[in-house]
Amino acid sequence: MSDINSTNPRTLCRGICIITGASKGFGQALAYQVSWYLEPRSVLLLVARSGPLLQEMKEELQSATEEQQLVVHCVAVDLRTKEGVDETVRVARQEAVDEIEHVLLINNAASLGDIAKFETFTNPDEVNSYLSLNVSSPLALTAGILQLCPCRPGLRWSVVILSSMFALQALPSWVLYCTAKAARNMMFSVLAKEQQHVKVLSYSPGPMDTDMQKEILLLTNVNHNPMPCHESAAKLMKLLLDNNFSSGAHLDFFDV
């Protein structure tokens, strides 16, 4: 078995990388960053609901990485559904060949949810719908990919879950968001303890110039001075390339 704690692999090897929420914002920035560090004949799966946006990204990525012969697949699905998760795993199964050296799964897809006081949420269906995308989906998808690509000698396994400072800190009127982020953090901490061959990172990317930040500004009139997505994406890539964080760690953009 390869040592998941080895440091300084300066590429992501020949791998299969799956990025959810890849059609815009931070997921899109990550896709471009990842494509630069994958070795030739690697596979990149872009997962999101918007097929046209994914197709546009695919064309740009393949043009920019022509020499690498990067295989890019668009998976236009709704990850809140079992069918969406199953389809993502099915596409990955087509490409998960024995020669692959690295499985990298980046669970980026998430939503803001209603910003409202605790007593507002009397409808379990509303809560369950939110948790379906933000908690159930990354669990089911990660489990499916783990079954698809079991541990073997020479295979590096990395899982990133996009987190937030509010996974650790309660904020009034943000019960859905805080609950989901805390659940995601604990869920992948369990994975790190359970699967010793999997390197797990919960990454809090900081406030970024995304649709979610615009929605937060509109709803709260609070400006968090968001940064360009590529700045935070570059820091996450450095963490993955250096590979010297402890599995299960929760790292914030401002602390690394």
What values do phi and psi take at 181, rounded to 5? -65, -40
- Give the DSSP H or E segment for 75: strand 71-76
Distances in Å between the Cα of 41 and the Cα atoms of 28, 66, 92, 116, 238 are 20, 10, 15, 47, 22
Distances in Å between the Cα of 92 and the Cα atoms of 129, 172, 175, 211 are 26, 40, 34, 28
Cβ distance 56 to 32 under 8 Å? no
CB atoms within 10 A of CB 122: 7
The per-residue pLDDT for 9 is: 59
The per-residue pLDDT for 129 is: 94
The closest of 29, 85, 251, 96 to 160, measured between CA atoms, is: 251
E strand residue ranges, 84-148: 102-107
Query: In whole angstroms, what is the distance from residue 32 CA to residue 65 CA?
Result: 10
Please name every residue paired with 44 in a beta bridge, in sequence order, or none if there are none: 17, 72
The closest of 162, 183, 178 to 116, measured between CA atoms, is: 178
3-state helix, strand, coil split of the chain in percent (to 5) is 50, 20, 35
The per-residue pLDDT for 64 is: 84
Distances in Å between the Cα of 27 and the Cα atoms of 46, 204, 229, 242 are 9, 13, 9, 20
The per-residue pLDDT for 7 is: 47
pLDDT tens digit at each of 256 positions of the chain: 334 445 445 899 999 999 999 999 999 999 999 999 999 999 999 999 999 999 999 999 988 888 788 999 999 999 999 999 999 999 999 987 778 999 999 999 999 989 999 999 999 999 999 999 999 999 999 999 999 998 888 899 999 999 999 999 999 999 999 999 999 999 999 999 999 999 999 999 999 988 887 887 777 777 778 899 999 999 999 999 999 999 999 999 999 8
Give burial (CB, 10 Å; 0-12/13-18/19+) of 107: buried
59's CB contacts (< 8 A; 6+ apart) are: none
CB atoms within 10 A of CB 163: 23
